Chain A
Amino acid sequence: MARIGVFICHCGHNIAATVNVEKVVEFAKTLPDVVIADHNLYSCSEEGLGSIRKSIEKNKLDRIVVAACTPRTHEPLFRKTCEMAGVNKYLFEFVNIREHCSWIHTKEPDPATEKAKKLIAMGVAKAGLLEPQKETESSVIPTAVVIGGGLTGLTAAASLVAQGIDTHLVETSGRLGGILGDIEIIGPEFSRSKELLDQLVSELKGSSHAKIHLDTKVTAVSGFIGNFEVTIESKGKSEKVPAGAIILATGAKEFVPTGEYGYGSIPGVITQLEFERRLAKGDHPKRVAFIQCVGSRQPGREYCSRVCCNASLKNALRIVEAEPSSRVSIIHRDIMSYGTASERLYREASDKGVVFLRYGLERPANVTRKQKGLVVEVYDETIDENIDIDADLVVLATPMVSREDARDVGKLLKVPLDKYGFFLEAHVKLRPVEFATDGVFICGSARWPSSVSECIGQGLAAAAKASIPIRRGKVVVEAITCWADTDKCAACGSCVIACPYEAIEIVEDEDRRYAKVNEAQCKGCGTCVASCPNDAMQQRGFTSRQLSSMIDALIKNAMEET
């Protein structure tokens, strides 16, 4: 008989404000095979983990159930605690009563408490049937593929190469540098982008570990952490690159206005990036009006692109510094000059005569072309009056938006995108620059609009994380693989057809034929399990007995209630 311990987390107020944890603890004590049920303020804290460990040892527990947040972020932590207490980590079961209960039923404490009880009853039922597992290891190809040759991709690739890791940098266009290639001066330090990019490119070109593929597209990706195969195609020729890890740094692009403020119809109304190119050519106009948040922070594109305010501040300063008599105004909704250096830039611009005017979404500015030049009519909230600003050039600060090919790239790598088409990392706080899929990493503006320093930081972070499996040379494969119960198997071959990884074959043994799973090839999807008409195929951690016991527990507890 199993000795099950149930530990229920308050998560501060996150769970306990909705779910009556004490009641749930009392309920858990009544469940079959439960030896002890307890609660912690924060189960994942040092103190919480310590008390779970002590309880395992004191009560000689052999199955552990934690009811807290989501296994997608915290399972490894609790599994480790079990291991430290001498319990095989596969004898641990996670019950999600935060994301799937307290947070989504905040106004219904009683039904939420009842639901938490049922979820825990299901978890306990499964836990009683868990079995210890042994993990296998697989080797890692000591090569990385970086997709995207902008600043972020270059930074990541240069970092990998400096560590002596063979790296393929794949860039769709014919040049390296990405958007930064169009920008001459980087804020807030006013350094030259060319120096930064040249340095990175020369590090790559000077290394025998780097291979740069220009005008090249990724057309297919297969495999898993440690053993990917990336198919790249250039000018009709395709090549297969084996890789242990993949870094995605495809970047973003500038939103091109669709007629806002006369863009496209009034000459002299241009975007920030177009202005950057002009500045790079030495063109310094004297009367410039910047309009912020063009196409962002509005219905349909609610986000703040974060880099545009700093870009306008930087360029405003460049104009007034080149010619102090210049007249520059920044028409904004809120200035987002986050970070101390950028805040200094804001103050400096203000000191040097840059005029800041605030507008609201409901009364945007109006741009017209008159004889003397462009006129921007702005309703100023502070003085409750319209102001006319004369300008030679109106610069529209538009947000970064996702690239058109982001969805295709996402499909190739099987990684998710958010509703704006930016890539979704596993967890912003707990697993930054990682995808939920092991071995694939995300950095730079493909993830979210990022400044130069953020791109560099994330590029380095992704390279550091990607180098972990490569330098270890092996990865541990989670023991969720499938196996065939040879007594039940009729060798019908349904599983052989169903398996997406060709991991199953029918073998002959003396006078019997049965299915055999090659565990090194099995990825633990369980497709074979549902295709088996004889219940012979089973998945570790998800056996039909375990899942059926969960359904039984739900039925038992739900039907008794009504």
Chain B
Amino acid sequence: MAEFNPTILAFCCNWCSYAGADLAGVGRLQMPPNIHVIRVMCSASVKPEYVLKAISGGVDGVLVLGCHIGDCHYMTGNHRTAKRMPLVQKVLKEVGIDERRLRLDWVSASEGEKFQKVVTEFVGEIKNLGPNPMRGVKW
């Protein structure tokens, strides 16, 4: 059997984590090619529906990355993300999906190395969890 190669979606906020991801690129920090970034202005604009849509469509893991608490470009946007995403994890658990398929973390514009670490760890964790059971489910 071929090695499980997870598909991972990441939401990065424009001001911190997307810039951190750019910095990782500039520094040529290598990481697994499983991650696909969608740029949003603030992590607080990531609707729970996006996460659920991705997971129910078979995406193996979703990362939501924002600015560190206190550093949000929009003052308190990430406070909402910090409260919202654990709720989405609860929903996932409730419907029988391992809640570790969604991870929330903070990456600042200067933390290219942290971006690399978070992505590498998350890809490793999703590989351990195995394929998303929703893969191949016909709706």
Q: Which of B36, B40, B70, B75 makes the CB contact (< 8 A) with A118?
A: B36
Find the residue from A111, A500, A530, A562 having the highest chain B CB count within 10 A. A530
Give the docked Cα–Cα distance between A501 and B31 (Å).
37
A103 adjacent to B26 (CB under 8 Å): yes
- Asked if A480 meets B36 with Cβ closer than 8 Å, knowing A416-B108, A530-B46, the reply is no
Contact of B45 among A98, A119, A530 (CB under 8 A): A530
Q: For B73, give the chain A residue with the smallest CB separation.
A: A414
CB distance from A436 to the nearest CB of B (A): 6
Q: Indicate whether B49 reaches chain A with its CB closer than 8 angstroms.
A: yes
On whether the beta carbons of A115 and B33 are closer than 8 Å, the reply is: yes
- Candidates A101, A500, A554; contact of B9 at CB < 8 Å: A554
Q: Is the CB of A122 within 8 A of B38?
A: yes
**Who on chain A is nearest to B47 by CB?**
A530
- The residues in A between 67 and 100 inclusive whose CB is less than 8 angstroms from any CB of B are 70-72, 96, 98-100
B22 and A70 contact, CB distance less than 8 A = yes
Q: Are B109 and A525 in contact (CB under 8 A)?
A: no
| Given contact pairs A115-B36, A416-B110, A551-B9, A99 touches B21 in the complex (Cβ within 8 A) | yes
Taken together as a complex, chains A and B put the C-alpha atoms of A201 and B47 apart, in Å, by 53
CA distance A555 to B54 in the complex (A): 7
A119: chain B residues at CB < 8 Å are 36-37
Is B118 an interface residue, CB under 8 A from the partner? no
Note all chain A residues with C-beta closer than 8 A to B50: 544, 547-548, 551
Identity of the chain B residue whose Cβ is nearest the Cβ of A499 in the assembled complex = B74
> Cβ of A547 and Cβ of B38 under 8 Å apart?
yes
B93 surroundings in chain A (CB, below 8 A): none
A96-131 to B contact mask, C-beta < 8 Å, 1/0: 101111011111100110110011001000000000
Known: A544-B47, A555-B58. A99 touches B26 (CB 8 A): yes
Query: B residues within 8 A CB of A498?
Result: 44, 80
Tell me whether B45 and A542 are in contact (CB under 8 A): yes
- Of the candidates A70, A104, A526, A550, the one having the most CB atoms from chain B within 10 angstroms of its own CB is A104
Nearest residue in A to B48 (C-beta to C-beta)? A530
Given the known interface contacts A115-B36, A122-B38, A544-B49, the answer about A525 and B74 at a Cβ–Cβ threshold of 8 Å is yes
A298 at the interface (CB under 8 A from B): no
Restricting to B56-72, which residues have a CB under 8 Å from any CB of A? 57-59, 70-72
Within 8 A of B (CB), among A521-562: 523-527, 529-531, 535, 539, 542, 544, 547-548, 550-552, 554-555, 558-559, 562
Contacts of A488 in B (CB 8 A): none
Complex-state Cα separation, A100 to B18, whole angstroms: 9
A443–chain B nearest beta-carbon distance, Å: 18
Closest CB-CB distance, A542 to chain B, in whole Å?
6
Residues in B whose Cβ lies below 8 Å from that of A554: 7, 9, 36, 54, 59
The answer to whether B47 and A100 touch across the interface, beta carbons within 8 angstroms, is no
> Measured between C-beta atoms, what is the minimum distance from B29 to chain A in Å?
6
Taken residue by residue from 11 to 54, chain B's Cβ proximity to chain A (1 for < 8 Å, 0 otherwise) reads as 00011101101101110111101001111111011111110011
Interface size in chain A (residues, C-beta < 8 A):
57
A501–B38 Cα distance when bound, in Å, is: 24
Mask, B85-118, CB within 8 Å of A = 1, is 0000000000000000000000011100000100
Report chain B residues within 8 Å CB of A104. 24-25, 28-31, 33, 116
A35 on the B face (CB < 8 A): no
**Chain A: minimal CB distance from B101 (Å):** 14
Q: Mark A410-428, 1 if CB is under 8 A from B, else 0.
A: 1100101111000010000
Choose among A107, A547, A548, A559 the residue that contacts B135 (Cβ–Cβ < 8 A): A559
Q: Which of A529, A552, A559 contacts B136 (CB 8 A)?
A: A559
Ordered by A's residue number, 29 sampled pairs between the chains whose C-beta atoms are within 8 Å are A71-B39, A72-B19, A96-B22, A98-B25, A99-B25, A99-B26, A100-B25, A100-B37, A101-B33, A104-B24, A104-B31, A411-B71, A416-B108, A417-B110, A500-B74, A525-B45, A525-B77, A526-B44, A529-B47, A542-B41, A547-B38, A547-B50, A548-B50, A551-B59, A552-B57, A555-B58, A558-B7, A558-B58, A562-B5
B interface residues with partner A (beta carbon < 8 Å)? 5, 7, 9, 14-16, 18-19, 21-22, 24-26, 28-31, 33, 36-42, 44-50, 53-54, 57-59, 70-77, 80, 84, 108-110, 116, 135-136
